[in-house]
Amino acid sequence: MSRAWLIGAGPGDVELLTLKAVRTLAQADVVLVDDLVNPEVLQFARDDAQIVHVGKRGGQVSTPQPDIVAQMLDHLRAGRSVARLKGGDPFVFGRGGEEQQALQAAGIAVEIVGGITAGIAAPAAIGIPVTHRDHAQGVIFVTGHGAGEHEADWAALAATRMTLVIYMGMRRLNDIADALLAAGMPPDTPCAAIESATRPEQRHVRASLRELAQHVADAGLGSPAIVVIGGVASLGVS
């Protein structure tokens, strides 16, 4: 019987794959690979596996979400086992939940193989413990991508005084910082932005909330990056 897996490939470093990811990847007839998945991960796929890149980086056109699901269904119905490889954890942003729903609606059971999410791995890569108890009662994972009605309620988030870990926040960093400052978050709140965490090209910037957007722009930091805001961002390596 063919099987379907949604597999987290972790933040980049192949050593951060789970044993289960390696084992299931090795069983797949077809591997659909997302953006942000380190290609080195594919060493664990079978030599005869069909590899399909559905991401939009590297000059390729991104495959629309319904087409990805349709491709998976085609393979599964033809009796082929399909591994869907996603960066980080498949259920933390990145639409893994939607793919599970679509497969379930088609009557197909999908197995979830968790991964290490960038929101924890990227801060850790520069020594930031996101829930250090001297600094925060908890951590909030939030997307910076939304605007308008999809915009997070930054004032409400600021009021929690928890660590904020922002995914997909680089393009709107200025607006996000302004919203947090307007909500009364202290301008000297420590922040960090970590680009391409756990990969050889990893870079980061540390700055106060007031200066974060400018320092990130000066350093030319871009996507993929995680932004950490809160007292914990004062910890770790400089």
> If you search the block for the tokens 């007292």, which residue do you land on?
231
Quote the least distance from Cβ 77 to ligand SAH, whole Å. 27
Q: Which is nearer to ligand SAH, 36 or 158 (CB)?
A: 36
Q: Which is nearer to ligand SAH, 51 or 91 (CB)?
A: 91
Quote the least distance from Cβ 122 to ligand SAH, whole Å. 4
Quote the least distance from Cβ 184 to ligand SAH, whole Å. 26
Q: Which residues ranging from 181 to 220 are in contact with ligand SAH (CB under 6 A)? A: 194, 196-199
Residues 6+ apart with CB under 8 A from 19: none
Using CA atoms, how far apart are residues 113 and 82, in angstroms rounded to an integer? 13
82-86 β-sheet, strand order: 50-53, 30-33, 82-86, 4-8, 110-113
Question: Does residue number 122 form part of the binding site for ligand SAH (CB under 6 A)?
Answer: yes
Using CA atoms, how far apart are residues 122 and 215, in angstroms rounded to an integer? 18
The contact pattern for ligand SAH, residues 129-168, with x = CB under 6 A and - = no contact, is --------------------------------------xx
Quote the least distance from Cβ 226 to ligand SAH, whole Å. 4
Using CA atoms, how far apart are residues 113 and 67, in angstroms rounded to an integer? 22
- Residues taking part in catalysis: 34, 56, 168
Quote the least distance from Cβ 207 to ligand SAH, whole Å. 17
Rg (CA), the chain: 19
When CB distances to ligand SAH are compared, the closest residue is 88
Instruction: State residue 28 phi and psi, 5-degree precision.
Output: -80, 140
Q: Which is nearer to ligand SAH, 24 or 196 (CB)?
A: 196
Hey, what are 89's tokens? Answer: 């954890």
Question: Does residue number 5 form part of the binding site for ligand SAH (CB under 6 A)?
Answer: no
The contact pattern for ligand SAH, residues 62-101, with x = CB under 6 A and - = no contact, is ------------------------xxxx--xxx-------
CB of 221 within 8 A of CB of 193? yes
Select from 173, 225, 228, 229 the one that contacts ligand SAH (CB under 6 A): 225
Hey, what are 155's tokens? Answer: 């004032």
225-229 β-sheet, strand order: 139-143, 163-167, 225-229, 190-195, 203-208
Select from 123, 224, 230, 236 the one that contacts ligand SAH (CB under 6 A): 224
